[in-house]
Amino acid sequence: MGNVIEVQNLTKEYKNIKAVDALSFEVREGEILGLLGPNGSGKSTTINCILSLLNFSKGSIKLFGSEMKPDAYELKSKVGVVFQDVAVFDELTVYENIDYFCGLYIKNKGIRKQYIQDALTLVGLEEFTKFRPKQLSGGLLRRLNIACGIAHKPKLIFLDEPTVAVDPQSRNNILDGIKQLRDNGATIVYTTHYMEEVEILCDRVIILDKGAILASGTNDELKELAKIEEKITVEISNLDARYIEAIKQFETVDMVTYSDNLLLITYQKGKNNLVALMDFLKQEGIEYSKIYSERPTLNDVFLELTGKELRD
Ligand SMILES: Nc1ncnc2c1ncn2[C@@H]1O[C@H](COP(=O)(O)OP(=O)(O)OP(=O)(O)O)[C@@H](O)[C@H]1O
């Protein structure tokens, strides 16, 4: 499979800030690429440069193998964009809004009717076709925003934080819809502040910081970068401090904390950490209610690499 986006050496400067600094990456056909980064790391600037909404000082951007320019209308018709801020017409109904945006690219009325139907089904708004935006809940409004951005069946879709402040039902609907778009053959660039979404949705992730790539790879590849390899949590009451000190001496242990009856141990590496810990607890006659082991989450990796929480 080829590359749908090729960004090479992209640099965008505002007066005295390099918002994007010699950035190079590609997006492969049929993948969902997650673009992650703390606030101000250059995500929006990168996307706006790719869409030719912003000029840039250096570098090149190709979409579907051709150079992207402000007047590359043929290329633009293959692209769908769902911005974070909802942009629909208040005076039009749900159906009319989708019809309007789809009509910018699809002139044939018969085809457009089918495409609108497909978009309504994808976001689950079939029952709301006659509603106006003001009558919709926040979650349904976001679904309409998505339907308007993707109804013309673009091959490349940009989604900028489409699930911010939506209810769980709409969130699940949106995530399912995005997977379906990918399964139907679209390539997707997804920005979000929700790490769990990246874990379940994205085939590959790029972590940006200060306009440059800090790390990239699949979820598993990124987790390999983390210093921590395993986290074990034990629900345990009134644990004596001397046991905590003893656990800290285990060979592969990184850190041990104990608060609110939760003992949390992180390990840098090692096999059978869980068995060794359970053996120790048994040997010392320490009772516990639950014990479980987890791999580090992407959030742990992100924190380790950037020193920041994603939701700063
Ligand atoms: N119009 C502008 N003029 C000057 N500086 C800007 C402008 N737009 C963005 N910047 C700066 O460029 C850098 C990158 O901003 P950008 O909006 O691309 O980040 P982001 O990762 O999308 O952030 P967020 O997650 O908050 O949307 C920041 O330092 C920002 O302050």
CATH code for position 7:
3.40.50.300
Counted domains in the chain: 2
Q: Is the CB of 154 under 6 A from ligand 1?
A: no
Q: Is the CB of 217 under 6 A from ligand 1?
A: no
d(CA 266, CA 250): 11
Do 251 and 215 share a structural domain?
Answer: no
State which of 11, 43, 206 you would mutate to test the pocket of ligand 1, scoring each by most atoms of that ligand within 8 A of its C-beta: 43
d(CA 126, CA 120): 5
Q: Give which of 57, 25, 14 is closest to 204, Cα–Cα.
A: 25
Structure tokens at 260: 């609110």
The ipTM value here is: 0.96
pLDDT higher than threshold 90 for residue 270? no
Give the model's confidence band at 240: pLDDT under 50 very low, under 70 low, under 90 confident, else very high: very high
Do 175 and 33 share a structural domain?
Answer: yes
Q: Is the CB of 192 under 6 A from ligand 1?
A: no
Tell me which of 187, 209, 224 is where a domain ends: 224
Do 265 and 153 share a structural domain?
Answer: no
φ/ψ bin of 128: left (φ > 0), alpha (ψ from -120 to 50), beta (otherwise): alpha
Residue whose CA lies nearest to ligand 1 atom number 1: 14
Local structure of residue 136 (DSSP, 8 states): S
Q: Which domain holds residue 215?
A: 3-224
Q: Can you give the CATH number for the domain in which 265 is found?
A: 3.30.70.100
| 71 vs 63, residue with greater confidence | 63
Q: Which pLDDT score, from 0 to 100, does residue 310 have? A: 63
Ligand 1 geometric centre to CA of 48 (Å): 11
- Could you tell me if residue 8 is inside a domain? yes
Q: Is the CB of 212 under 6 A from ligand 1?
A: no
Instruction: Tally Cβ neighbours within 10 Å of residue 164.
Output: 14
Do 52 and 185 share a structural domain?
Answer: yes
Do 164 and 279 share a structural domain?
Answer: no
What is the distance, to the nearest Å, from the Cα of residue 224 to the centroid of all Cα atoms in its chain? 19
- What's this model's pTM, rounded to 2 decimal places? 0.84
Nearest atom in ligand 1 to the alpha carbon of residue 42 is: 18
pLDDT higher than threshold 70 for residue 266? yes
Do 277 and 252 share a structural domain?
Answer: yes
Q: Which pLDDT score, from 0 to 100, does residue 24 have? A: 97
Tell me which of 184, 203, 224 is where a domain ends: 224
Do 69 and 203 share a structural domain?
Answer: yes
Question: Any bridge partners for residue 192, and if so which?
Answer: none
pLDDT higher than threshold 80 for residue 193? no
| 165 vs 158, residue with greater confidence | 158
Q: Which pLDDT score, from 0 to 100, does residue 311 have? A: 58
Q: Which pLDDT score, from 0 to 100, does residue 300 have? A: 78
Do 274 and 144 share a structural domain?
Answer: no
d(CA 312, CA 209): 13
Q: Is the CB of 306 under 6 A from ligand 1?
A: no
Do 162 and 76 share a structural domain?
Answer: yes
| 16 vs 25, residue with greater confidence | 25
Q: Which pLDDT score, from 0 to 100, does residue 309 have? A: 66
Do 144 and 38 share a structural domain?
Answer: yes
Nearest atom in ligand 1 to the alpha carbon of residue 193 is: 25
Do 243 and 220 share a structural domain?
Answer: no
Q: Is the CB of 12 under 6 A from ligand 1?
A: no
Q: Is the CB of 38 under 6 A from ligand 1?
A: no
Nearest atom in ligand 1 to the alpha carbon of residue 160 is: 27
Tell me which of 201, 224, 247 is where a domain ends: 224
> 26, 32 in Cβ contact below 8 A?
no
The amino acid occupying position 211 is: G
Give the model's confidence band at 241: pLDDT under 50 very low, under 70 low, under 90 confident, else very high: very high
Q: Is the CB of 54 under 6 A from ligand 1?
A: no
Q: Is the CB of 44 under 6 A from ligand 1?
A: yes
What does each C-alpha distance from 34 to 21, 50, 172, 249 come to in angstroms?
19, 15, 17, 39
What does each C-alpha distance from 287 to 246, 255, 273 come to in angstroms?
16, 21, 18
Average pLDDT over residues 69-87: 89
Residue whose CA lies nearest to ligand 1 atom number 29: 40
* Helix residue ranges per DSSP H, the chain: 43-50, 73-76, 94-103, 109-123, 138-150, 168-183, 195-201, 219-225, 241-248, 273-283, 298-306
Query: Considering the chain, what percentage of its residues have pLDDT values greater than 90?
Result: 67
Q: Give which of 144, 160, 178 is closest to 35, Cα–Cα.
A: 160
